[in-house]
Amino acid sequence: MKKVFVLIAILCLCVSAVLSSPAFAQADNPDKIYEAMLDKAKKGDQNLDFTEMRMAFAKTSFYDPYNTNRITKDMWDLFKAKKFREAADKANIVLSSNYLDVDAHFICFISYKQLGDTANSKHHYLIFRGILNSIMKSGDGTTPATAFKVISVPEEYSLLNALGMKLVKQSLIEQNGKRFDKMEVTHSQSGDSRTIYFNIDIPFSWLEKKMSGKGK
Answer whether residue 24 shows pLDDT above 50.
no
Per residue in 159-208, pLDDT (tens digit) is: 999 999 999 999 999 999 999 999 999 999 999 999 999 999 999 999 99
Q: What pLDDT was estimated at residue 19?
A: 40
Answer whether residue 135 shows pLDDT above 70.
yes
Walk me through the domains of the chain, giving residue ranges and CATH numbers: 30-41+49-137 (1.25.40), 139-216 (2.30.30)
Q: What pLDDT was estimated at residue 194?
A: 96
- Indicate the Cα dihedral angle 110, 112, 115, 119, nearest 10°: -130
Q: What pLDDT was estimated at residue 20?
A: 43
Per cent of the chain over pLDDT 90 is 78
Greater confidence (179 vs 70) lies with 179
Measured distance CA(196)–CA(141) in Å, rounded: 5
Measured distance CA(139)–CA(63) in Å, rounded: 23
